[in-house]
Structure 1
Amino acid sequence: MTQWDVLVAGGGNAALCAAIAARRAGCSVLVLEKAPKFYRGGNTRHTRNMRCAHDAATGTLTGPYTGDEFMEDLLRVTGGNTDEALSRMMIARSYDMLDWIQEQGVRFQPSLGGTLSLGRTNSFFLGGGRSMLNALYRTAEGLGVVVRYEHEITGVEIEGHRFRAATVRHQDGESRIEAQTFIAASGGFQADIDWLKEGWGERAENFLIRGTPYNKGSLTRALIDSGVQQIGDAAQCHAVAIDARAPKYDGGIITRLDCVVFGIVVNKNAERFYDEGEDIWPKRYAIWGRLVAAQPEQIAYIVFDAPNLEKFMPSLFPPVEADSIAGLAGKLSLDPAALADTVDAFNNAVVGGRPFDHTEPDGNRTQGLPIDKTNWAQRIETPPFYAYPVRPGITFTYLGVRVDAHARMVMADGAVSENMFAAGEIMAGNVLGQGYAAGIGMTIGAVFGRLAGEEAAAHVA
């Protein structure tokens, strides 16, 4: 085929939702995925759940999660740095997403336990992100969507505000592909360390990238250079604390650590630097990547004791273990006296005595420290003692392209493109100016992906 109705860039959740929606509306659809087939899907491969509004419990959700509550959570984690009208639209459309995405072959399971606290708000994919992704591919290809792997869009031809064609690099060289409409759903640029340095400086050399090495943002640059309006900056991203022993790329979900609330977090000087009990895990876990990034050498250590070892989901790597705090410090290359002083000061400041409950703020706190722990404070006193070394793990970046309520790209001059749309990480900065809450990335991808596909099909019609 020499010209397609809809050309989709990307191979993850957002791209597949767009492709399926457009194909169901009768369009010819070509999906170009930069990665090889095994690595298709970008971050979708590593996801577990998505956050959608719903008014009642379901077979896999324990209770209602209204659109108003969803919006309150979003405003809290972003500090109000969001396009509120666009976010409310997304949340309103998320009500239908749980049914729609199951119609595309995706299946859900009951929420996991541990420290997640997501049983009411988030739907977990049966088999995880790869199973979810495979289901979308089966549906898309069954409908007649054409997928080409190892095809990278390196340039776009835009006349006025209209997309005309894309320049594509692949194993056989380079080609030009025309389409009536174009949907960018190609992820962020988190694997481009030099680009990260534009926002973070040399600290970015110590960052670990949770997803594949293929998300380098080449399409994002091409679109912005061609006159599409940029949103966000290079320092804003979804960053969590992950095991420092993880590989540079593609460590995925199993390298994340969910045990902050069970102990204390210290930097290389054995000093605490933030309140470990600020809020429950789903709303506050994503602050720790940025916090660790601000510490010397971008390294920190989560320290806890024996009674807490089995209270959270384990990481891929075992914790560092010792029979004393001094011994633990030695294994972590920390000053033993400094770590012992920090732990002693923390233990002496613990007050409260209420039953420990990790699912909600329990009021067990410290009192009198320069940085108090405001919930879940327990004395660290029962050997053996444990620690996990952590570094910033970058999930995806927020610098991308601006869109309107129809998922259409907005040009630098303020005009709205007639036939260019965006979904997923490449436009996530419209919703996430900063911060993160569990599952929102998949919501952005699915809602705006479906919307982009429907709007592209309407334009073709």
Structure 2
Amino acid sequence: MTGNGDIADHSLVYDVVVVGGGNAALCAAIAARRAGASVIVLEAASKFYRGGNTRHTRNMRCAHDAATATLSGPYTEDEFWDDLLRVTEGQTNEQLARMMIRESKEMLTWIVEQGVRFQPSLGGTLSLGRTNSFFLGGGRAMLNALYLTAERLGVEVHYESEVVALDIDQARFCAAIVRRGDRRIRIRGKALVAAAGGFESNIDKLVEGWGEIARNFLIRGTPNNRGTVLDLLLGAGVDSIGDPTQCHAVAIDARAPKYDGGIITRLDCIVFGIVVNNKAERFYDEGEDVWPKRYAIWGRLVAAQPDQIAYIIFDSKSADLFMPSLYPAVAAASIGELAGQLGLDPDRLSATVAQFNAAVRDGTFNPDILDDCHTEGLTPTKSHWARRIDTGPYYAYPVRPGITFTYLGVRVDHEARMMMKGGGPADNMYAAGEMMAGNVLGRGYAAGIGMTIGSVFGRIAGRGAARHAA
């Protein structure tokens, strides 16, 4: 513990120390407390900003066998698995993924028992009414319900308590060193649940994997997820999993703040128009698949473009088909005028739009299914929802990569126990949420699955930590 100055010992030894304050951490804390353990939650943020990226969520994806009051139909375990396999392109631990999907069926009931309420799905282009459960009041309301339940059960919650060191002796957690203002305090515990998120808000760490282009990325979520706890665990011999460049990355409004812009900066209109780079050139099929299975590829696609900037171009026929961003679209009476406002070459953008329009083959437009409106003789093609951009006024959104969370994390087993380098499990250390998401998400994303990972593995980790402490 050199370099930390004087460290005061907390008077109590807790059964379970939970590091983090979002969905995964709270599910772990509640599960451990309901199993009889004494629990402390260490949240680096203030009370107002508690909850990490969970504050910005809207829904979670769970398997279920029949329609409910808020879900329009069944979503079987096999269909969930097929969706996950498709978006990850096979880069997932099948045993853990299938276990998560199976356990997710119980979460719809369990999480309601913790005070969380659901509502019918929102409108827009997500088309998730059958597969995903939407939180009544959004992520912050969901968090408030979990915190209220945790505190009523006797879980201690300490805010502005950043973990800066971990006392780990040969795969066994002994204590967390917490910074509170100018003080450092040792919090001892019989078991650890690490649920402190990824490292997406640490730009220098992103640069290590992505190179200098990462400095143009925007961070959709909390500025607190700097990867400190993850680095401490990996430095103590915990095995890692995942690629440092793999992450949940979507296209968000380029005018969004550097951090914490949240879900209202995301653009869901890509399927209704075309996307061009700063050379006014298209670079990918905007209508490849339904939006919930493709929206999370667009951050990476934009990251590969010059200056990490792109522009969504559409016309008035599509202006009311999606949930708008926080910022108004750029509008103009002509494509040339629109290009001028975006700083693009007017002739090039006009030619790109004209080429696209000429390639469109009419069909029956339907924003809710894979329709038959497509292009022919155009590279890249647009497979579905292709309509001519020919009805003014014309609109555009500038977009940049918006990073939600990173996939490089700690390897876990089916009990959410951390695995040590060399293959054996840790004695009393568990992980949940974003910092172990790479076990399930080797790449890609399907809407709502981050919350599934957090809640399912959080509950498993909390129960396991409580059993160990007992």
Letter in 1 for 2:348: A
Specify the SS of the correspondent of 2:385.
Answer: coil
The one-letter code sitting in structure 2 at the alignment partner of 1:192 is N
| Partner Cα distance (1:232, 1:114) in 2 | 32
Once the two structures are TM-superposed, the CA of residue 172 in structure 1 deviates from its matched residue by: 4.1
Say whether 1:180 aligns with 2:190: yes
What is the DSSP-based 3-state SS (H/G/I as helix, E as strand, rest coil) of the residue aligned with 1:39?
coil
Contact 2:329 2:396 in 1 (8 A): yes
- Match for residue 111 of structure 1? 121
Aligned residue runs from structure 1 range 33-432, under 5 A: 33-351=43-361, 353-432=362-441
- CA distances 1:390-445 after superposition (whole Å, capped 9, x unpaired): 00000000011000000000001211012100000000000000000000000000
Q: Distance in 2 between matches of 1:156 and 1:410?
A: 17
Q: Deviations over 1:71-95 (max 9, x none)?
A: 0000000000000110000000001
Return the alpha-carbon distance in structure 2 between the equivalents of residues 370 and 139 of structure 1: 54
CA displacement 1:231-280 (0-9 Å, x = unmatched): 11210100000000000000000000000011000000000000001000
CA contact (8 A) 2:417 2:429 kept: yes
RMSD of aligned Cα (Å): 0.7
Q: Which secondary structure state, in structure 2, belongs to the residue aligned with residue 222 of structure 1?
A: helix
Cα distance in 2 for partners of 1:315, 1:3 equals 47
TM-score (structure 1 length as normaliser): 0.99
Q: Distance in 2 between matches of 1:123 and 1:88?
A: 19
Matches of 2:270 and 2:25 in 1, distance apart?
34
Gaps of 5+ in 1: none
Task: Give the structure 1 partner of residue 456 of structure 2.
Answer: 447
Contact 2:218–2:256 (CA under 8 A) maintained in structure 1: yes
Structure 1: 4+ residue segments shifted above 3 A: none
Counterpart CA distance in 2 for 1:152 and 1:180 is 19
Equivalent residue of 1:239, what SS? strand
Question: Structure 2: how far apart are the matches of 1:310 and 1:232?
Answer: 39
Q: Aligned residue for 2:29?
A: 19
Q: Deviations over 1:112-171 (max 9, x none)?
A: 111111000000000000000000000000100000011111111222221111111111
Distance 1:333 1:253 in 2: 26
Counterpart CA distance in 1 for 2:18 and 2:59 is: 24
Paired residues in the alignment total 460
> What secondary structure is seen at the aligned counterpart in 2 of 1:403?
coil
CA distance, structure 1, for counterparts of residue 125 and residue 435 of structure 2: 30
Deviation of the 1:354 alpha carbon = 2.0
In the TM superposition, what is the alpha-carbon distance from 1:2 to its structure 2 partner? 2.1
The residue type equivalent to 1:247 in the other structure is P
Aligned-partner residue type, residue 456 of structure 1: A
What TM-score comes out, normalization by structure 2 length?
0.97
Tell me, what secondary structure is at the counterpart of 2:157? strand
What's the % identity of the aligned pairs?
69
Letter in 2 for 1:18: A
Cα offsets for 1:350-390 (capped at 9, x unmatched): 01x22211111102111111211011100000000000000
Query: Contact conserved, 2:364 with 2:372, CA < 8 A, in 1?
Result: no
**Matches of 2:316 and 2:56, distance apart in 1:** 30
The match for 2:468 is: 459
